[in-house]
């Protein structure tokens, strides 16, 4: 089976109203969350788009339209599940995922094991096959001014020809 790669990116601004900050399916902060139609989990959104891109499917906005009331406040782990379901429907499997969160705060290192634990069963890989890192934007631009967060994700997949 050939190995394919996918790249995903997502960005959300911080919500002016209190809501939980969810990253990788884990609550990181109870009130300093991101604005979005779903739970605005940038890590899960980037990861799902990386999978969808690698298998030639439309992005998450196609599967979970922002204006659809059924998608309001949806847990983004469900978005990743849909991407994996579409991957499996094509006979494929995930090899590994590598993700980077970009934000000035908060520090996520202590929560990485929980994020890996939440994602591994959905992705169908061992936790050691999931990379989750964080970096700042060195106080440059909107992210550097702490106006929001972004994430990149890459995946490797096996998919029959």
The CATH number assigned to the domain holding 116 equals 3.30.1330.50
Instruction: Map tokens 């998608």 to a residue.
Output: 71
What's the CA gap between 15 and 62, in Å, rounded?
23
As given in the structure block, the two tokens for residue 30 are: 């109870």
Confidence at residue 159, expressed as pLDDT on a 0 to 100 scale: 93
| pLDDT computed for residue 6 by the predictor | 98
pLDDT tens readout for residues 105-139: 998 999 999 999 999 999 999 999 999 999 999 99
Q: What pLDDT is stored for residue 1 in this prediction?
A: 78
Which range of residues forms the domain containing residue 36?
A: 3-158
For the chain, the domain total comes to 1
> What's the mean pLDDT in 4-20?
97
Residues in the chain, overall count: 161
The Cα–Cα gap between 5 and 11 comes to 21
13-54 confidence digits (pLDDT tens) = 999 999 999 999 999 999 999 999 999 999 999 999 999 999
Cis peptide leading into residue 150 (ω within 30°)? no
Which of 111, 155, 154, 118 minimizes the C-alpha distance to 134?
111
Q: What does pTM read for this prediction?
A: 0.96
pLDDT at 161: 79
How many angstroms separate the Cα of 146 from the Cα of each of 35, 128, 137?
13, 30, 9
Residue 101: strand pairing partners: 134, 151
Separation between Cα atoms, residue 12 and residue 76, nearest integer Å:
13
Write down the mean pLDDT value for the chain.
96
């Amino acid at each position: 089976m050939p190995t394919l790669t996918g790249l995903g990116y997502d960005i959300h601004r911080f919500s002016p109203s209190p809501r939980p900050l969810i990253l990788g399916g884990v609550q990181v902060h109870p009130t300093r969350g991101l604005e979005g139609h779903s739970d605005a989990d940038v890590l899960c959104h980037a990861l799902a788009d990386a999978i969808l891109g690698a298998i030639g499917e439309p992005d998450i906005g196609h599967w979970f339209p922002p204006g659809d009331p059924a998608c309001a406040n949806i847990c983004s782990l469900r978005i990743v599940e849909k991407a994996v379901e579409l991957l499996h429907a094509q006979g494929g499997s995930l090899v590994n995922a590598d993700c980077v969160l970009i934000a000035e705060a908060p520090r996520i290192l202590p929560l990485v094991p929980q994020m890996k634990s939440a994602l591994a069963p959905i992705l169908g890989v061992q936790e050691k096959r999931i990379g989750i890192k964080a970096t700042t934007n060195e106080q440059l631009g909107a992210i550097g001014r702490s106006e929001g967060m972004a994430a990149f994700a890459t995946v490797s997949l096996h998919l029959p020809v």
